[in-house]
Structure 1
């Protein structure tokens, strides 16, 4: 078996620069295409909050109002607890960028909202607009511990009755 070798001509320095410029241009076009093709939320800080931001595993307490493009309010709540990981992707992304006490305006494109599904008063393919205030947030473990404490207090209250323990019956 024989191998034939073919000598390659060296690339000139000018040709090497053209190759690098071409690769850079190709990378820039690919990045621009990827960014343009990826739906993004609109996120405007109305009032900056303080402290840390919630994570996907946290439970938040928010005040919000949700509207459609035509201004129709589809939902509002003064104190809504919600698990960050269990809301639509666009709302979840926005929550992880908020801080306690902050006020925000969020626009969620259909791809990061309900997509092609109609949900209650929200038509399929709707862009969602929210005014949100992050009141507070806690980890899931903290919320479970608080719930257990409340249940224990309720059970203790039920055992002692409304006026405390009943008096002992006289012994014969």
Structure 2
């Protein structure tokens, strides 16, 4: 799993460019960082997931947009999250707690298998008040089978806001 803050991803990109001599060629930024850089830091508004033509990652990628300062979400704790789920390539939303109201949250007990593995793993380590972009390859999502509006083999992006941690 790759875990970075957006500024850390920018630093990694800058170092990569410097190592390559910073020539005329334009480097492709890390795929998830490209998505995370476009996500709003305003936790009072539903975030949009931008489309990208960067290659989809083959592992879970976690990018903090806003680092929270509250209690940390760990396995076994119950959390309440707001989220937007979208397709990696198009940014087209397929589900969102925000569409059910600004105060609607999803309760999840981490490690209990209540949600797809990538979503569960993407929340772990967040702190209350944080916003995170989690890019989930199909193996940690719904796999090769279609699931409702999600075609098999889909790479998914979730923007997750951690609202509460208990237990």
TM-score, reference length from structure 2 = 0.57
- The partner residue of 1:96 within 116, 124, 144 is 124
Query: Whose helix fraction is larger, Structure 1's or Structure 2's?
Result: 1
Give 3-state SS (helix, strand or coil) of 1:74's partner: strand
Report whether the alignment pairs 1:73 with 2:93.
yes
> 1:104 Cα shift?
0.8
Query: Where do residues 126-145 of structure 1 align in structure 2 (5 Å cutoff)?
Result: 126-139=154-167
Query: Where do residues 53-72 of structure 1 align in structure 2 (5 Å cutoff)?
Result: 53-69=72-88, 70-72=90-92
2:66 & 2:91 partners in 1: Cα distance? 22
> 1:137 Cα shift?
1.3
> 1:128 Cα shift?
0.7
Q: Deviations over 1:110-150 (max 9, x none)?
A: 111111121111110110101110001112xxxxxxxxxxx
> 1:83 Cα shift?
2.0
Q: How many residues are treated as equivalent by the alignment? A: 102
1:116 & 1:101 partners in 2: Cα distance? 34
Give 3-state SS (helix, strand or coil) of 1:60's partner: strand
Report whether the alignment pairs 1:106 with 2:134.
yes
TM-score, reference length from structure 1 = 0.55
Q: Deviations over 1:30-49 (max 9, x none)?
A: xxxxxxxxx52111111110
Pair member with larger Rg: 1
Give 3-state SS (helix, strand or coil) of 1:91's partner: helix
Runs of at least 5 residues in structure 2 that lack an aligned partner in the other structure = 1-57, 98-103
2:106 & 2:115 partners in 1: Cα distance? 12
Runs of at least 5 residues in structure 1 that lack an aligned partner in the other structure = 1-38, 140-172
> 1:73 Cα shift?
0.8
Runs of 4+ in 1 over 6 A off after TM superposition: none
Match of 1:44 in 2: 63
Q: Which has the higher contact order (CA 8 A, sep 6+)?
A: 2
